[in-house]
Amino acid sequence: MKRNYLLFVLTALVIIVLDQITKVYIDTHMTLHESIPVIQGFFNITYVRNPGAAFGFLADASPIVRALFLIGVSIFASCLIVYYIVQMKTEDILLTYGMSLIMGGAVGNLIDRIRLGEVIDFLDVYISTYHWPAFNVADSAVSVGAVILFYKLIRGQV
């Protein structure tokens, strides 16, 4: 079981550090709304800030309500993940990895919310004029972790 704890902590830490390094780099080397084409017609690095949650959820809510809700949900979810990891009866490496990706992503964005009151996003995927909402390393980790958990769930292994 200790191997799961080490995998969980190391993976979450790698995601948090990578997420924060990329956000600091974007914040210090680009101006807000600046965009750098990477793959013309498909992918840009575009510096934006998101005061809400995924897809701008709560972006129009009052700053105090938004902050309390999003910080509270992040802390609650993090506590649930840690509780689940501690209670796991098996050494399911894939499940642990999925949970650690979600944890690292949640903490990465939580740091931004506490520090800035919003989240730095910069990965801009699009086709023609149709843009997926900008995201970051933390969002990517949460998404991959959720896919892993969904896979384990439909296989009846959660």
51-70 as b/e: b if 16+ CB within 10 A: bbbeeeeeeebeeeebbeeb
Within 10 A of 4 (CB to CB), how many other CB atoms are there?
A: 20
Catalytic residues: 121, 139
For 28-35, what is the mean pLDDT?
98
Helices and strands per DSSP (H, E), number in the chain? 4, 4
pTM over 0.85: yes
Residue 42 has pLDDT above 80, yes or no: yes
Domain ranges of the chain: 2-154
Q: How confident is the model at residue 3 (pLDDT cuts 50, 70, 90)?
A: confident
Of the ranges 26-30, 74-78, 87-91, 96-100, which one carries the lowest mean pLDDT score? 87-91
* Structure-model confidence comparison of residues 56 and 45, the more confident one: 45
